[in-house]
Structure 1
Amino acid sequence: MATALILSISAYAQEPGDAKAGYAFAQRNCAECHAVGRGQTESQNQDAPSFESVAKTGGMTGRALVVWLETSHPTMPNFLFSEKDRNDVVAYILSLKPVPAQ
């Protein structure tokens, strides 16, 4: 168990950002539409994926999330992130990825 935790922490250590700050930012700015908490699967807006489902998308990386967050979407308002806020949200979403079984 401790090994899995250490591996999960080191796997995300390469990504810039503070997951705790990203969660706080998401609660303030994203939760109106998205389910942002761990274990929350149903978003307020049916067209808005939960953060956990985004994290579980095959091949999801920090770079892919940055591109996703910086690309306008027809169903998402244009939202401008500071680089710090964006990196924090990316770190938080990546923290929701399941830890691979050893």
Structure 2
Amino acid sequence: MRWMLPLLVLAMPIAAQAADPAEGRRLAEQWCASCHLIARGGPGPVTDAVPAFHVIAARPGRTEEAIATFLRTPHAGMPDHGLTLRQAQDLAAYVKAQGGAQ
């Protein structure tokens, strides 16, 4: 019976770790800031053709999970950065954090 606990611990999903919004910001600065306004009052793109992160975060139903899934799903108009699940989760946590009070 004692041998079962280590097996259960190993079987826990790695994705259960908390997302890191600070790492998400670093990723956003690297990959997203040329098209999106990634923080209120921050530098942004020369066009408003794409939504700012705070606008994305405020949309109904935009949970961190929904944003992470969207980021990993190919879609027109956005480059495929080949994000890992962890990178998408970190970036989604940062995007969602931008939806706070104005």
The TM-score normalised by the length of structure 2 is 0.70
Cα pair 2:68 2:91 within 8 Å, conserved: no
Structure possessing the higher radius of gyration over alpha carbons: 2
The aligned counterpart of 2:99 is: 97
The aligned counterpart of 2:13 is: none
Q: How many residues align?
A: 86
**Distance in 2 of aligned mates of 1:66 and 1:27:** 17
**Distance in 1 of aligned mates of 2:51 and 2:75:** 13
1:98 Cα offset (Å): 2.4
Structure 1 gaps of 5+ residues are: 1-13
**Distance in 1 of aligned mates of 2:66 and 2:96:** 11
1:38 Cα offset (Å): 2.9
Q: 2:18 aligns with which of 9, 16, 19?
A: 16
The aligned counterpart of 1:5 is: none
The aligned counterpart of 2:53 is: 51
Q: 2:72 aligns with which of 55, 66, 70?
A: 70
**Distance in 1 of aligned mates of 2:18 and 2:47:** 29
Structure 2 CA distance for partners of 1:46 and 1:67, relative to 1, 3 Å: same
Structure 2 CA distance for partners of 1:60 and 1:39, relative to 1, 3 Å: farther
- The alignment yields a C-alpha RMSD, in angstroms, of 2.4
4+ aligned runs moved over 6 Å, structure 1: none
Say which structure, 1 or 2, has more relative contact order (CA 8 Å, 6+ apart).
Answer: 1
What SS is found at the alignment partner of 1:58? coil
1:39 Cα offset (Å): 4.3
Structure 2 CA distance for partners of 1:15 and 1:52, relative to 1, 3 Å: farther
